[in-house]
Amino acid sequence: MKYLVKYCAFLVLLLVLAGTSCRKEPNFDLKPHINFEEIQETIFVDENRLKHHQITIVVYFQDGDGNLGLSPEPPAPFNSPPYDKNFIVKLLVKEPQPDGTAAFEEYQFPVAGFDLSGRFPRISNDDRPEPLEGKIKYTFDITSEFPNLAGKVAKFDIFIYDRTQPVPLKSNTVTTNEITLLR
C-alpha cells in the first residue's frame, strides 16, 4: 500500500508537469503587426571627414504565418519595386509653417530614387507557416552629404511587408520618437 501511494503521487506529479509544459501556439493575424520599441543613435566622422549619423530603429513584430524577411535572391515580386524593400522608412522633418508653427513633412531626398528603406533577411528558414514574434533592428546612415538636414528635428514612419504572393501584406505604420539629425 505504501508503494502504491508513493507511485500514485509520482504519477500525479508527472501528469501535472506534463500538462503545464504544453504551450499553446499564439494566434496572430496573418497581416504583420509592428510596435515601435526604440531608436538608437551613433554619430561619427569617417576617414574622409564625412559626418555620419547612424540610426538603428528597433521594432517588435508579430506575424501569424511567419513569412517575414527576404532571401538574398528573392523571387518576383520581391526583386523589383515596390516590393524589393521590405523595411520601409519615411523621413519626416519638422519644418516652419507660414502661421509660425512647425509641422512634420516627408523629406524628399535631392537624389532621385534615394531613400532610407531596405531589406531585412528571412526570419525563419522554414517554409512551414507558423506564428512568429520578435524584434527587428534596422540600421541606416544619414550623412553630411545632405547639409540641409543638419540640426533638423526628425522622426520616421516605419512599416514592413511580408512575403505573401502575389501581393505582400503591409503591416501597420509606426512612428519613432523625435531626434535631432547630424547635431
Is 33 among the domain residues?
yes
- The pLDDT of residue 23 is 62
Is 8 among the domain residues?
no
Confidence of residue 3 (pLDDT cuts 50, 70, 90): very low
Kindly report the backbone phi and psi dihedral angles of residue 122, in degrees, each rounded to the nearest multiple of 5, phi listed first.
Answer: -55, 135
Print the domain residue range for 164: 26-180
- The pLDDT of residue 180 is 97
Query: Is pLDDT at 175 greater than 90 in this prediction?
Result: yes
Q: What is the mean pLDDT of the chain?
A: 89
Confidence of residue 26 (pLDDT cuts 50, 70, 90): confident
Confidence of residue 113 (pLDDT cuts 50, 70, 90): confident
- The pLDDT of residue 111 is 86
Query: Is pLDDT at 10 greater than 50 in this prediction?
Result: no
Is 117 among the domain residues?
yes
Report which of 104, 174, 114 is spatially closest to residue 141, judged by C-alpha positions: 114
Q: What's the structural domain count of the chain?
A: 1
Confidence of residue 41 (pLDDT cuts 50, 70, 90): very high
> Where is 1: in which H helix or E strand?
none
Query: Is pLDDT at 161 greater than 50 in this prediction?
Result: yes
- The pLDDT of residue 6 is 43
- The pLDDT of residue 21 is 52
Query: Is pLDDT at 166 greater than 90 in this prediction?
Result: yes
The span from the CA of 64 to the CA of 31, in Å, is 7
Query: Is pLDDT at 2 greater than 80 in this prediction?
Result: no
Is 174 among the domain residues?
yes
Is 70 among the domain residues?
yes
- In the block, residue with C-alpha cell 505504501: 2
Is 3 among the domain residues?
no
DSSP string, 140-174: EEEETTSGGGTT-EEEEEEEEBB--SSSPPB---E
Counting Cβ atoms within 10 Å, is residue 91 exposed (0-12), middle (13-18) or buried (19+)? buried
Is 9 among the domain residues?
no
What does the pLDDT look like over 83-105, one tens digit per residue?
999 999 999 999 999 999 999 99
Is 15 among the domain residues?
no
